[in-house]
Structure 1
Amino acid sequence: MSVPDAGFDDAVLYRVKFAQRLPAGLTELTGPVQGIVELPLHVVWSGLRAFDLDQPRQRMGLYRTVLAEGTREDLCRFLNADLLFSLWPVLRTLVGRSVREVWEDAFPQLREAKAAA
């Protein structure tokens, strides 16, 4: 009796999980571009919950967290398409492989942003 490759199964499950959360288009990402954003407990349950979008590290932290833990509604509420596009060349190196691949497969313009950086 062989044991299935757990790594492969996990990767597939993660891709499905992130793909189900995707907005229909980047134009649905209408979140703020400045100021303080406080994430709900279902997105970030420990540590920093309020992020200052005017601070580059905190802005990157918010985007990384929401991409990894947010629901579709959270993605649309807290992320901004223009900011995501500008952050993507670095952000893509900070998120997990499944998140990166799902987003770049769904929105090829993000892959192009990476190439232009």
Structure 2
Amino acid sequence: MLCARYQKRLPDRLEDLDGSTQGTVDLPLHVAWSGRRSHSLDGTRARMGLHRTALAEGQREDLEAVLNRDLLVAQWPVLRTLVSRSLRGAWEAAFPQLMSERGASGA
């Protein structure tokens, strides 16, 4: 059973995720209410932190503004192991291409 909490936040298409691919991203306070708010996109760990926080706490508008489709797809094979089962299930059910990317990468 998929968690409605995450389903209602999903973008209509992965292509709607048009956030930056470089520089620094500052998450809004309602998304990063505890911990780091500013994330550099230059390093893999910082991107993972940004993605984990945004996916877990962001609303649809936040996800579309902050996340980038290409970065999310590239990091999904590892990122999927770092998020909750319900979050992962909602995203993979809505966007099967995330699973095919995982299979293609061998992860």
Once the two structures are TM-superposed, the CA of residue 65 in structure 1 deviates from its matched residue by: 0.5
Partner of 2:103: 115
1:10-46 per-residue CA deviation (whole Å, 9 max, x = no partner) reads x75xx10100001110110000001011101100112
Among 3, 13, 18, which residue is 2:6 paired with?
18
Query: Quick one: which amino acid aligns to residue 66 of structure 1?
Result: A
| TM-score for both structures, normalised by structure 2 | 0.94
The answer to whether residue 31 in structure 2 is matched with residue 46 in structure 1 is: no
Aligned residue pair count: 105
Unaligned runs of 5+ in 2: none
Query: Quick one: which amino acid aligns to residue 46 of structure 1?
Result: S
Once the two structures are TM-superposed, the CA of residue 64 in structure 1 deviates from its matched residue by: 0.7
| Distance in 2 separating the partners of 1:108 and 1:47 | 31
Query: Quick one: which amino acid aligns to residue 113 of structure 1?
Result: E
DSSP 3-state at the match of 1:37? strand
Partner of 1:81: 69
| Percentage of identical aligned residues | 56
Structure with the higher helix share, 1 or 2:
1
- Work out which of the two has the higher radius of gyration on C-alpha atoms and give 1 or 2: 1
Query: Quick one: which amino acid aligns to residue 6 of structure 2?
Result: F
Superposed structure 1 runs of 4+ greater than 6 Å apart: none
| Distance in 1 separating the partners of 2:8 and 2:34 | 25
Q: CA RMSD in A?
A: 1.0
Query: Quick one: which amino acid aligns to residue 27 of structure 2?
Result: L
Partner of 1:102: 90
